[in-house]
Amino acid sequence: MKLTWYGQSAFRVDVKGASILIDPFLDSPLWNQGWEGPAEGVTHVLLTHGHNDHIGNSAAILKATGAQLVANFEICMYLVGQGVSPEKINPGNTGGTVDCGGFTTTFVQALHSSSFNNGDGSNVYLGNPLGLVLHFPEDKTLYHMGDTDIFSDMALINELHQPQVGLVPIGDRFTMGGAVAALACRRFFNFETVVPCHYKTFGLLDQTADKFVEGMEGSGAKVVVPDLGKAVEL
C-alpha cells in the first residue's frame, strides 16, 4: 500500500488494482499545486462527509477521470446535481458495506456534522458524517476516521474490522485534538501504523502533530507524519 497526504484529510491510496482519493480538498492553503497530478489515474473518490474542505475538488475530478464515487446517498445525489454521472456513484450509509470492485468500503460512525457551504451564507445538508473502513483482499485494512471526536464504539469498529492502518484527525476545535486522538488509538485499536491529519491547514487548527506523536509514545504503533505530496509505503 502506498499512501500520499495532500493536507487536511486528503489522501491518495494506491493498492493493486485501485487508486483512491479520499476527501480530495486539493485547493487548500497547504496544497496549491492543483488536483490534476493527485488525480492522475484515479479509479475511486471516497468522501467522509459534506464539508467544503472534504468534498473539495471532487466534482471536477470525477467528471475528468470517470472515477467511481463512494459516499453517503446525500453526497452522491448532490454531486450528480453538479454534473457527476449517476452511473458512477456507489452510495451507502452507516453500517453498510459496498463492493467497490477489488475492495470494499464499510461506512461507520463519526461524531461531527455534514453540510456544504454555498458561499452565500446558506448550507446544503448532506447526510450524516462517516468514517470509512477499506478492506483490500491483498493488502492491509485501512480506517479513515473522517472528522470525529473519540467515542467508545470505536472498540466495536476495531472488533469488527481490525484495521491495521489508521488515518486520524488531530487538529482540535473541529475534531479530536492530538492527545485525545492518541487516547482513542491506544484504547480502542491495535493499529500497526497511524497517520495524523486535519491539522495545520488553517490558523484555527493545531499547527503540528507534536501532541499526537507524544501521546502515541510507547503504544507499539508506528506514527507516520508524512510530507505533503510525498508517497510512503505502508
What domains are defined for the chain? 2-228 (3.60.15.10)
Whether the CB-CB separation of 67 and 42 falls below 8 Å is answered with yes
3-state secondary structure of 147: coil
Terminal-to-terminal C-alpha distance of the chain: 5
Q: What is the rounded distance in angstroms from the CA atom of residue 198 to the CA atom of residue 176?
A: 10
Question: Cα–Cα distances in Å, from 127 out to 105, 113, 124, 131?
Answer: 17, 8, 9, 13
List 105's β-bridge partners, or say none: 98, 134
What pLDDT sits at residue 32?
Answer: 86
Q: Which of 55, 66, 68 is nearest to 25 (CA)?
A: 55
Cα radius of gyration rounded to whole Å, the chain: 16
Q: What is the rounded distance in angstroms from the CA atom of residue 56 to the CA atom of residue 62?
A: 11
- Tens of pLDDT along the chain (234 residues) come to 999 999 999 999 999 999 999 999 999 999 989 999 999 999 999 999 999 999 999 999 999 999 999 999 999 999 999 999 999 999 999 999 999 999 999 999 999 999 999 999 999 999 999 999 999 999 999 999 999 999 999 999 999 999 999 999 999 999 999 999 999 999 999 999 999 999 999 999 999 999 999 999 999 999 999 999 999 999
Q: What is the rounded distance in angstroms from the CA atom of residue 26 to the CA atom of residue 11?
A: 10
Q: What is the rounded distance in angstroms from the CA atom of residue 46 to the CA atom of residue 105?
A: 9
Query: What is the CA angle 111-113-114, rounded to 5?
Result: 130
pTM beyond 0.95: yes
Cell 493536507: give the residue.
Answer: 7
DSSP string, 155-198: HHHHHHH--SEEEEE-BSSSS-BHHHHHHHHHHH---SEEEEES
Cell 499526537: give the residue.
Answer: 212
- Count CB atoms within 10 A of the CB of residue 186: 17
What pLDDT sits at residue 63?
Answer: 98
What pLDDT sits at residue 48?
Answer: 99
